[in-house]
Amino acid sequence: MVPGWRPLAEGLLGAESRIDFVGLEPDGRVVIVLVGEAGEDLEMVSLGLAQAEWVKARLGDWLQLAPELPLRSEFGVRAQLLCPSFRPQARAAARALGSARIGLATYRWVENGSKLEPLVEILLDDEEASEVEQEPAVIRQDVPQEASSSRESQPDTPRDEALPSFRSKLADEDLGLTPEELAEFE
């Protein structure tokens, strides 16, 4: 994951498509990460906004299910988009929305000794430095067998074992399931 972020979920079904990663920034803001292919950058901006709004509408439910999560719903949801490149139109759209709502980062596979690793470069979102990039940050140590930028070949994300589990505090009888339906869960 991205340094400083706490991973919460991977492959979450969002607004009609999957959200690649959901995490928390150190201040408690929820961040969704969407990974796109070359040429999908403009589409990713609108998809990022739609998914962020979908998640934002559910933050109260998430807090009810996992009250010990240090998420701060008042900060809203930020979408972090990863694509191999971003055209000027996509950068301008993200800049207009502001870095509190959307962030852009490019990724590519680079050789590190005898293996390949993804390299992520965070793009600045402020108007004065839209074309300037920060120092690259390697986000994973594991690498797929074949170097490819497709979603299917990306390495698995490490799980944070200290994460709380979701719970509903519902009893079996609250669900109104038949004994046969309950047996499916055992």
> What tens digit of pLDDT does each residue of 56-78 get?
999 988 888 888 888 898 898 99
Q: In this model, does residue 48 exceed pLDDT 60?
A: yes
CATH: 3.40.1350.10, 3.40.50.720, 3.40.630.30, 1.25.40.80. Which one for 6-183?
A: 3.40.1350.10
The predicted-structure confidence for 19-30, as pLDDT tens digits, reads as follows 999 999 988 899
> 25: how many CB neighbours lie within 10 A of its CB?
17
pTM over 0.85? The answer is: no
Q: In what order do the strands lie in the sheet with 18-24?
A: 6-13, 18-24, 30-35, 77-83, 102-112, 115-123, 137-138
> Which residue has better confidence, 102 or 144?
102
From the number of C-beta atoms within 10 Å of its C-beta (0-12, 13-18, 19+), residue 180 rates as exposed
Cα dihedral value 55, 83, 6, 153, nearest 10: 110
**Domain locations in the chain?**
6-183
- Give strand pairing partners of 107: 120
- Give strand pairing partners of 10: 21
Element (H, E) at 116: strand 115-123
